[in-house]
Amino acid sequence: MNRSLIPVLLVGCMELFVPCLGVAPKRTTCLVENGRADCSHLGLREIPSDLPRNITSLDVAHNQLKTPTLATLALFPALRHLDVGYNSITSLDAGLCKNLPFLQNLSIQHNVVYILQEKDLKLCSNLTHLNLADNKLKLKGEPFVALQRLTWLDVSKNGLASVRLGNQPQMENLVTLAFSGNNITTLGKDDFSFLKNSSLQVLKLLNLPSLQKIESGCFKPISGLRALLLDNSKLTPQVTSMLCDELSGTALRNLSLQNTQQHSLTNTTFTGLRSTNLTRLDLGRNNMAHIENGSFQGLTHLDSLSLELNNLKALNNGTFQGLENLRWLNLWSAVKGNVENYSFEPLRKLEYLNMGKTSMKDFKEFTFSGLHSLKFLDLSQSTSVIKTITDRTFISLAGTPLKTLNLTYMALQRLNPGAFSHLGNLTTLLLARNFISQTLSGLEFEGLHQVEEIDFFLNSQKISLTPESFIHVPTLKVLLLGRALNGTLNLEPSPFRPLVNLTWLDLSNNNIANINEGLLEGLSHLKVLTLQHNNLARLWKDANPGGPVLFLKGLHSLTNLQMDSNGLDELPRDAFQGLTNLSQLSLSGNLLDKLHESVFDDLKSLRVLQMEKNLVTSVPKQVFQSALANLSELRMERNPFDCTCESILWFVEWLNSTNTSVPGLQGDYICNTPPAYYKDSVMAFEPLSCKDMSPFQALYVLSSTAVLTLLFTAFLVHFQGWRIQFYWSILVNRTLGFREDAVVEGRYEYDGYIIHAPTDAGWVERQLLPLENEHFSFFHEDRDAEPGRSQLETIVENMRRSRKIIFVVTEKLLEDPWCRQFKAHHAMHQLMEDSRDSLVLVLLQEVQDHQLSQALLLRRSMLKPRCVLHWPLQRERIPAFHQQLRLALATSNRVSGSRWLG
Ligand SMILES: *[C@@H]1O[C@H](CO)[C@@H](O)[C@H](O)[C@H]1NC(C)=O
Ligand SMILES: *[C@@H]1O[C@H](CO)[C@@H](O)[C@H](O)[C@H]1NC(C)=O
Ligand SMILES: *[C@@H]1O[C@H](CO)[C@@H](O)[C@H](O)[C@H]1NC(C)=O
Ligand SMILES: *[C@@H]1O[C@H](CO)[C@@H](O)[C@H](O)[C@H]1NC(C)=O
Ligand SMILES: *[C@@H]1O[C@H](CO)[C@@H](O)[C@H](O)[C@H]1NC(C)=O
Ligand SMILES: *[C@@H]1O[C@H](CO)[C@@H](O)[C@H](O)[C@H]1NC(C)=O
Ligand SMILES: *[C@@H]1O[C@H](CO)[C@@H](O)[C@H](O)[C@H]1NC(C)=O
Ligand SMILES: *[C@@H]1O[C@H](CO)[C@@H](O)[C@H](O)[C@H]1NC(C)=O
């Protein structure tokens, strides 16, 4: 590879990666808020002068200041707090306090201040806190003498060789003095005499590696001392003894000697402390192997003792002798040996005993005798011979008011009947992380009358339940069985039936595949149910024999439900019915895609929904609207979203407008389909691309409406066209005034207008037209219609000119659409318009009355009898028929009666 390319590539990479690593852009200006200016970490060489004049607090720590510019500080006379720590300041100027008269709190920590003399702090009498730790102080004269109001002074880590900070009494109000990490070998007799008028209570002498001598009377000037901390200092047994002797008679309450090389305690080590009112003693991290009997004798006020992280070979009935008021004892990882019977016998007031991580060679029956006040016992992570808890194991705790017993991580394998029968006041029993492998018959918990929590989390997954497992503990509120059960829970009745007070049930990580609908029945107080990492998919399938198993039915109080990683690919429509208090639902890591529209409808209180890592392609409003309505956090990342308008438009609009926290929104919500959006962020989906559809949609609606209208019109014209034509012609006739008001009989041109079916034309020619020889005249369309005129016009015109209209009725006529519809209608209209009795029916065939009325809108009864003629079958009656016809044609058209009105 070409060497010259490497720098180019490096620069390229850095340019690429720096923004990607998400390094917050470095602040370049001070942050000013509530009168406080934070100018730390800005690489400043000068204090900025453009800050508000009235700031009361200024932080310029972690910069490159050499000396604070007094002229600049003078701009902020109201300052009460000034932090110039972690700079390169070499000296303090008297002008500082002159310019800042109200300064109370000054930190010059971690600089290189060297000479400190009286004039430097002379005007700082208003200071209450002064931090000079981690400099190179060389004190000259009485530098602190002016600090009358100082309560807190830190001169740690300055290489000082003596605690003597002055010769004359001063700092009357000093409460806390930190002197840690200096190079002190001796606490001299008069070293603290400069504090003899002070109110010193807390003295920190931590990290003094070369302290060798404590002179008699050294604490006399500060006998009001209440707390002395010497952690990490090197104290030989002689120095410790000396120290305690010197502390005798002081007001000391709290002594911390962590990691001070106390390898053993003798019955004289703490003799001096007997004449104090010491309440707290910390002897942790001392690699201590031996405590002589009676070592604590006389510490009658001791309330709290820590021996954690030591290496004690044995405890016996003499170890804690004299600690009659001890209430708190920490032996965490302190004992690597024997705990004899009656070791704790003197501790009658002990309430808290932490014996976690103890290595007991064996476990004795009367170990805990005498602990009459014990409320808390932690034996977790202890290694002992106990593998089975029998009804004798805790017999020495009988009669104690023990509330919490921590037996976590103890390699326990079995609980025998009555294992806890002596612990009637126990509320919390922690058995997590063991190897308990058995069928719980229920007798194991006998006697636990007040138990509220049992934790079996992470056992060997070999615990089996029976319907009786919990019958003795109806007070239980929390039952944790995660990664503990062997997977069979299809019991009848349910083992949880007695647990009416249960609020939290953990059944996670158990590979449970089969449960029944009654498993959680009656658990009306249940709030938290965790079922993740089981195998419940089959139970919620529609195809499950007998339908989906709705085991959440009736859990009205449920607020938190976790069903992640169960292989679920379906949610029954009523899966979450009635869960109106549910605020957190977790379904991540399943195979869910399409959901029933109403599945989330009852989840009115939902605040957190987790559905990440499923197969969700679309997020439709109908399904998710109620679930997302009040959410504070949504987790739906890593689903194969389908970024189309139908699938994702509503969701993207919701994401754009919501205040809900959606972690990973920028990187983990990725489109899988369609190809155009593949691997794009869901947020890159353009909602407007769906809006652009709307003109096309309108066009589509418009054009389809037009086509439909056209179709409708065509059908209307096809089937009802005659009717339209009919009314049109009437309208035209009326408006054009064809209607004569006075009807004159004589105006008629024809005696009859013949209507007949084409097939009956022969009959008409043979039987009717011959009547024209007897001065009757007929209008016969086939013969008289004027060529060129429209059929419609011809009919209308000539019917008006005919005195009678003759229907030659046969079935064919009734079937002829033109004839029976338009002509009949017009005839009827004419009839009514002119009030003429002008119809003659000639029935060539017998026709049913209803056929007549349907086809020609006529009834026989509407006509005068003589106008209804029947064509006779017998030849000899034909002349009679002709005679009747002549009569009918001759009758007047005057209406005789009110037949039309009926
Ligand atoms: C400082 O002065 C500004 C106006 O100059 C004022 O708005 C602000 O409240 C003052 N702050 C304090 C702490 O007095
Ligand atoms: C100390 O503060 C008070 C107001 O609290 C002020 O009057 C006095 O001048 C200050 N003292 C010094 C020495 O600056
Ligand atoms: C501590 O003081 C002793 C003498 O008292 C001296 O020899 C030693 O160098 C000092 N150590 C430091 C780190 O100052
Ligand atoms: C210890 O406390 C008692 C009363 O509480 C008090 O009288 C006694 O002076 C105290 N002892 C010391 C050394 O402070
Ligand atoms: C301390 O122990 C020694 C034996 O190791 C014994 O002789 C002495 O009496 C004990 N002192 C007290 C005060 O118990
Ligand atoms: C402590 O136990 C020993 C035997 O181990 C016994 O002789 C002694 O009397 C016990 N002391 C007390 C105070 O119970
Ligand atoms: C019980 O012990 C375990 C393991 O040491 C610890 O993590 C847990 O906090 C303890 N529980 C209580 C209530 O002390
Ligand atoms: C257990 O608690 C009850 C009250 O809750 C109390 O009366 C009883 O004394 C306690 N038992 C023990 C052994 O302290």
| Cα(407) to centroid(ligand 5), Å | 37
pLDDT for 742 equals 41
| Cα(121) to centroid(ligand 1), Å | 29
Cβ atoms of 483 and 513 within 8 Å: the answer is no
Q: Whose CA is nearest to atom 14 of ligand 4?
A: 251
Do you find a cis peptide bond into 674, omega within 30 degrees of 0? yes
Q: Whose CA is nearest to atom 10 of ligand 1?
A: 54
| Cα(55) to centroid(ligand 1), Å | 8
User: Which long-range CB contacts under 8 A does 359-364 form with residues at least 24 apart?
Assistant: 359/335, 359/383, 359/384, 360/335, 360/384, 360/385, 361/337, 361/385, 362/338, 363/339, 363/393, 364/339, 364/340
Distances (CA, A) of 500 to 426, 475, 476, 716: 19, 8, 8, 73
Burial letters 290-318, b for 16+ CB under 10 A, else e: ebeebbbbbbebbbebbbbbbebebbbbb
Whether 94 maps to a domain, the answer reads: no
Whether 762 maps to a domain, the answer reads: yes
Q: Whose CA is nearest to atom 6 of ligand 5?
A: 267
Whether 804 maps to a domain, the answer reads: yes
**Distance from CA of residue 813 to its chain's centroid?**
80
One domain for residues 700 and 770: no
pLDDT for 731 equals 67
Whether 715 maps to a domain, the answer reads: yes
Q: Write the single-letter amino acid at 545.
A: P
CA distance 722 to 471: 89
One domain for residues 758 and 820: yes
pLDDT for 819 equals 66
Pocket test for ligand 5, best of 267, 273, 295 (most atoms within 8 A of CB): 267
CA distance 884 to 795: 26
Cβ atoms of 280 and 248 within 8 Å: the answer is no
Cβ atoms of 64 and 89 within 8 Å: the answer is no
Tell me the HSE value of 744 on the side-chain side, using a 13 A CA sphere. 4
Q: Whose CA is nearest to atom 10 of ligand 2?
A: 101
Q: Whose CA is nearest to atom 11 of ligand 1?
A: 35
Closest ligand 7 atom to residue 409 Cα is: 4
One domain for residues 719 and 814: no
Tell me which residue range forms the domain holding 817: 750-890
- Integer-rounded Cα Rg, in Å, for the chain is 54
CA distance 854 to 197: 129
| Cα(343) to centroid(ligand 6), Å | 10
One domain for residues 776 and 880: yes
Cβ atoms of 375 and 350 within 8 Å: the answer is no
219, burial (CB in 10 Å: exposed 0-12, middle 13-18, buried 19+): buried
| Cα(166) to centroid(ligand 5), Å | 42
Whether 116 maps to a domain, the answer reads: no
User: Which one of the ligands is nearest to 422 CA?
Assistant: 8
Ligand 4: which residues within 6 Å by Cβ? Answer: 249, 251, 276-277
User: Which one of the ligands is nearest to 293 CA?
Assistant: 5
Whether 835 maps to a domain, the answer reads: yes
One domain for residues 708 and 839: no
pLDDT averaged per 10 residues in sequence order, the chain, 902 residues? 41 40 65 95 92 95 87 91 95 89 96 93 95 96 95 97 95 96 94 95 96 94 96 93 94 97 94 96 96 96 98 95 97 94 96 95 88 97 91 93 97 96 97 96 96 96 94 97 92 95 97 94 96 96 93 95 96 95 97 94 96 96 93 96 93 94 94 91 88 66 82 76 61 56 60 82 81 80 76 76 81 73 69 66 79 72 75 78 79 50 33
Cβ atoms of 817 and 843 within 8 Å: the answer is no
Q: Whose CA is nearest to atom 5 of ligand 1?
A: 52
Closest ligand 8 atom to residue 425 Cα is: 1
Q: Write the single-letter amino acid at 600.
A: F
One domain for residues 765 and 880: yes
With a 6 Å cutoff on the Cβ, whether 378 touches ligand 7 is yes
Instruction: Give the number of other CB atoms < 10 A from CB of residue 99.
Output: 20
Q: Whose CA is nearest to atom 13 of ligand 8?
A: 399
Whether 204 maps to a domain, the answer reads: no
One domain for residues 768 and 879: yes
Nearest 5°: the CA angle 258, 260, 262 is 100
| Cα(477) to centroid(ligand 8), Å | 20
One domain for residues 715 and 763: no
One domain for residues 856 and 803: yes
Closest ligand 4 atom to residue 276 Cα is: 13
Q: Whose CA is nearest to atom 3 of ligand 8?
A: 425
Q: Whose CA is nearest to atom 7 of ligand 5?
A: 267
Pocket test for ligand 3, best of 183, 184, 186 (most atoms within 8 A of CB): 183
105 DSSP β-pair partners: 81, 129
One domain for residues 715 and 817: no
User: Which one of the ligands is nearest to 249 CA?
Assistant: 4
pLDDT for 873 equals 76
| 3-state SS class at 47 | coil
Q: Whose CA is nearest to atom 8 of ligand 8?
A: 401
Residue whose structure tokens are 């700079």: 87
Sign of the C-alpha dihedral computed for residues 382, 387, 388 and 393 taken in this order: negative
Task: Count the domains in the chain.
Answer: 2
Residues 6+ apart with CB under 8 A from 459: 431, 432, 433, 434, 435, 436, 437, 483, 484
One domain for residues 801 and 874: yes
Q: Where are the beta strands (DSSP E) in 118-161?
A: 129-131, 138-140, 152-154
Pocket test for ligand 7, best of 381, 430, 431 (most atoms within 8 A of CB): 430
Cβ atoms of 376 and 351 within 8 Å: the answer is yes
CATH of the domain at 827: 3.40.50.10140
Whether 561 maps to a domain, the answer reads: no
Q: Whose CA is nearest to atom 5 of ligand 3?
A: 161
DSSP 502-517: --EEE--SS---B--T
One domain for residues 715 and 760: no
